[in-house]
Structure 1
Amino acid sequence: MCVENTPPPSSRLTRRGVLAGAAALAGTTAALSVTAPRAEARGATGPGAPGGDLVIEGGTLLDPATGEVTEDAVVVIAGGVVRAAGARGRTRIPGGTEVLDAHGKWILPGLVEAHIHLNTAAEARDAVLKGATSARSGSTTFYQDIAVRELARQVPHLAPRLRAAGVFVTPDLGDTVLADPDLTPLARLRDGVRSPEALRRVVEVNLARGADVIKTRVNERAGLPEQDPLAQVYDREQLSAVVAAARRGGKGVLCHSYSEQGCHDAVMAGVRSLEHGAFVGEHTLHEMRRRGTYFTPTLTAIAGLAESSDPVLAERGRSYLPVLRRAVLAAHELGVPLAAGTDSSGGAVDPIGGEVALMREAGLPALDAIRTATTSAARLLGLERTAGRLARGFAGDAILLDGDPLADVTVLKKPVRVIRAGTAL
């Protein structure tokens, strides 16, 4: 069955709904404009949401981009944006600004979480408190992530700066068909969302709702015991249809994947990043390096399966995790860009610092592991001039740590203080 004759989705109506949802999450009754938010400038927090003024002084500053370590450092944040960062003697401390004493602590930029599912305001706040000040959604069921993104623009300390994926482009939409009236014609399709027309339609609705990226899949899920994660649900041609529709809207695609054939088809179809990818092979990794395709292995999620009370999932986790670790190390050694993501969902937000620790366990040097949740992940999200560093013009997002992350990356799991847009939380 074809959905080609269905009128195109209305972006004006859904944009109003998105902003109304953001207002509800933020707890405000103030009238909001229905115009699209302005593009995020370097370090910008969003319209009507100026950041705070803060000086962080006395700690040891790590710049993930260069690996440079500066003792007795000063970071000056004004209006939510870094104005200066460096050694005390070379950095002027403005008078009358709140000072946060960081003596004995390490200062790092806020971490970037490349794969998370934020369905509630509480989850968004929890992610920030655990160090993720920027993030990319791995999709939500009813466009909650788009509202969370707007919440972050209005009240930055309540949510990470977010790249929203909207709803999952998957064969069986289930209740997600109710997420937007423009999706309801797809309920007539006996075989689900599989035809080029149907695939384009879900992408188009996502774009109309304001999605920043598109999420699709090539394999079934690992977290459901009744599914086979190596079974393929879309072929290369179908994935290419999703990628083409996303590119027409100027967006990239992240793809849930496990099997080697599925990973290869996804990469050849032109996805921007491969998610999970436990059985990705060397041939595909070489192609990823050539194309600049990112690898987001979500080691946290796979390690979590090994601890499941379900015997099928526990065995799956135990068998997949060492394979995935080898794939991560092979990708790093080949020069494939890596991004840290926990795949947190269902009310339990895992600390992004734990994913960095798992990257280290997989064999990455400590600094390179840290980069997967700072500079590398920021590039994947298109935030390379906003997040991932504490340098002039970047966002005033930071974390304070109790120890040296270059000696022990596990200190990233529990930041002692988080600063979001110049506000210490």
Structure 2
Amino acid sequence: MCVENCPPPSNRLTRRGVLAGAAALAGTTAALAAAPGASAAPSTGMSAARSAGAPRGGDLVIDGGTLLDPATGEVTEDAVVVIRDGVVRAAGTRARVDVPKGATVLDARGRWVLPGLVDSHIHLNTAAEAKTAVRLGATSARSGSTNFYQDIAVRELARQAPKLAPRLRAAGIFITPDLGDTVLGDPDLTPLARLSEGVRSPEALRRVVQVNLARGADVIKTRVNERAGLPEQDPLAQVYSHEQLSEVVAAARRGGKGVLCHSYSEKGCHDAVTAGITSLEHGAFVGERTLHEMRRRGTYFTPTMIAIAGMIGSSNPVLDERGRTYLPKLKAAALAAHELGVPLVSGTDSSGGEVEPIGSEIELMHSAGLSALDAIRTATVNAARLLGLDGTVGRLARGFAGDAILVSGDPLADISVLKKPVRVVRAGVAV
């Protein structure tokens, strides 16, 4: 059955769409109301909140810490970082940076100071999850999709009350053959419920992309394989062909967006990469020929090793075995990708109310064979480029966002300190 006869989705955020997202995103309104200097979006919809403009960031001086610049590897002792209106105005040695009189000062003596980290694959379905991600050091993120467009609302929450949510690139809903209850996320999706074979035809695939774009998605998320985290599914079974993936990519490109693709099998990975995706997610069995193709195309790789490691020890023997089998393969794939020059980024694939610290994925990147500095780059400068935020996040330099983490020791010597930031600063406000 065709969906081409349905009218195109509205290209604006409608009141019904906002309300649908708000109903699923429990706690957003309360969080906004409680945030200092911010007010909840009016009931007339998110567009009203946007027209009012987001609050400015904070003013803060981070004083006396050891500053690490992931871009250059430079380490500056007794450093000063001056943040005004949520933006870094100066960063460097005390001798070169003037501390404004009367400034609020965060004492960083004895701490290392790094830019806020980026989680390039996370599922934020509630306001509580968004706040936890920030507290664990992820001041920026890319959504791996949500059930009912909650990530669109989280993105707005981050603008209105930065300390409550990471700066976010939203993916909207997952493009998958069986949308299930997600068809209730927007009335423009409901015609797809009539399709006996699910979202598989070119028209149906384009339709979901179009609804995502109309609702304001920054990126498009799809899949080529089934899930590893569900014991009844076979992660090596392919659900979309090269041609179907190409339809998704083409529709996304017409809207000026890239595609991230859930994948495991080598054939699935190769089909996804050659179809033109922007980043390969998971990819446990990605092979050498596909990695070479990724390097040629500039395709990013997000291994999400912490999600796979989390299956080890599961009470379900299928999941336990998958975790033990897939993790070493992912580590080998990540190292091979790095050595070939494929851009690597860190993502936790956190979902279901459990938020993993992005520092755990950085630690696994290091254990896979990357140097500590290169591992840190996967959640700073590399991730910033993937998200289109290079020049905004990933460093603490003049003109960059005033997002920072303070950790208890030298991450170049003990990378595990990144898992438990002592303090987090988001847009010039200490969290």
TM-score normalised per structure 2: 0.94
CA offset digits 1:360-380 (Å, max 9, x no partner): 000000100000000001111
Residue 36 of structure 2 corresponds to which residue in structure 1?
none
Residue 229 of structure 1 corresponds to which residue in structure 2?
235
For 1:413 and 1:405, the matched residues in 2 are separated by: 10
For 1:234 and 1:100, the matched residues in 2 are separated by: 51
Per the TM alignment, residue 14 of structure 1 is displaced from its structure 2 partner at its CA by: 2.7
Letter in 1 for 2:121: H
Residue 47 of structure 2 corresponds to which residue in structure 1?
34
For 1:408 and 1:53, the matched residues in 2 are separated by: 31
Per the TM alignment, residue 18 of structure 1 is displaced from its structure 2 partner at its CA by: 3.3
- The 8 Å contact of residues 136 and 164 in structure 1, kept in 2 or not, is answered as yes
**The one of 64, 88, 96 aligned to 2:70:** 64
Residue 176 of structure 1 corresponds to which residue in structure 2?
182
- The 8 Å contact of residues 16 and 34 in structure 1, kept in 2 or not, is answered as no
For 1:130 and 1:244, the matched residues in 2 are separated by: 36
| CA 1:259–1:10: 2 relative to 1, 3 Å | same
Query: Is 1:124 paired with 2:130?
Result: yes
Per the TM alignment, residue 305 of structure 1 is displaced from its structure 2 partner at its CA by: 1.1
For 2:356 and 2:70, the matched residues in 1 are separated by: 22
Residue 113 of structure 2 corresponds to which residue in structure 1?
107
Q: Equivalences for 1:10-49 in 2 at 5 Å?
A: 10-14=10-14, 17-18=17-18, 21=22, 23=29, 26-27=32-33, 28-29=39-40, 31=42, 34=47, 37=50, 47-49=53-55
**The one of 157, 166, 169 aligned to 1:160:** 166
| CA 1:361–1:33: 2 relative to 1, 3 Å | closer
SS at match of 2:14: helix
Residue 90 of structure 2 corresponds to which residue in structure 1?
84
For 2:381 and 2:105, the matched residues in 1 are separated by: 26
SS at match of 2:318: helix
For 2:178 and 2:253, the matched residues in 1 are separated by: 23
SS at match of 1:90: coil
TM-score normalised per structure 1: 0.96
- The 8 Å contact of residues 13 and 214 in structure 2, kept in 1 or not, is answered as no
- The 8 Å contact of residues 41 and 48 in structure 2, kept in 1 or not, is answered as no
SS at match of 1:152: helix
For 1:82 and 1:347, the matched residues in 2 are separated by: 32
- The 8 Å contact of residues 169 and 219 in structure 2, kept in 1 or not, is answered as yes
For 1:35 and 1:138, the matched residues in 2 are separated by: 27
Identify unmatched segments of 5+ residues in structure 2: 23-27, 34-38
Residue 43 of structure 1 corresponds to which residue in structure 2?
none
Query: Is 1:193 paired with 2:199?
Result: yes
Query: Is 1:260 paired with 2:266?
Result: yes
- The 8 Å contact of residues 18 and 209 in structure 1, kept in 2 or not, is answered as no
Letter in 2 for 1:310: N
SS at match of 1:317: helix
- The 8 Å contact of residues 340 and 372 in structure 1, kept in 2 or not, is answered as yes
Residue 335 of structure 1 corresponds to which residue in structure 2?
341
For 1:365 and 1:15, the matched residues in 2 are separated by: 48
Letter in 2 for 1:115: H
**The one of 397, 401, 418 aligned to 2:403:** 397
Per the TM alignment, residue 10 of structure 1 is displaced from its structure 2 partner at its CA by: 1.2
- The 8 Å contact of residues 25 and 147 in structure 1, kept in 2 or not, is answered as no
Query: Is 1:306 paired with 2:318?
Result: no
SS at match of 1:139: coil
For 1:137 and 1:151, the matched residues in 2 are separated by: 14
Letter in 1 for 2:11: S
| CA 1:36–1:378: 2 relative to 1, 3 Å | farther
CA offset digits 1:365-410 (Å, max 9, x no partner): 0100000000001111111111100000000000001000000111
Residue 210 of structure 1 corresponds to which residue in structure 2?
216
For 2:283 and 2:193, the matched residues in 1 are separated by: 30
Alignment length (residue pairs):
418
Per the TM alignment, residue 419 of structure 1 is displaced from its structure 2 partner at its CA by: 0.3
| CA 1:13–1:421: 2 relative to 1, 3 Å | closer
Per the TM alignment, residue 48 of structure 1 is displaced from its structure 2 partner at its CA by: 2.5
For 1:255 and 1:48, the matched residues in 2 are separated by: 32
- The 8 Å contact of residues 245 and 272 in structure 2, kept in 1 or not, is answered as yes
Per the TM alignment, residue 13 of structure 1 is displaced from its structure 2 partner at its CA by: 4.6
Per the TM alignment, residue 23 of structure 1 is displaced from its structure 2 partner at its CA by: 4.9
- The 8 Å contact of residues 13 and 216 in structure 2, kept in 1 or not, is answered as no
Identity %: 78
For 2:189 and 2:332, the matched residues in 1 are separated by: 40
- The 8 Å contact of residues 77 and 83 in structure 1, kept in 2 or not, is answered as yes
Query: Is 1:55 paired with 2:47?
Result: no
Letter in 1 for 2:215: R
Identify unmatched segments of 5+ residues in structure 1: 39-45
Per the TM alignment, residue 182 of structure 1 is displaced from its structure 2 partner at its CA by: 0.3
- The 8 Å contact of residues 65 and 111 in structure 2, kept in 1 or not, is answered as yes
SS at match of 1:215: strand
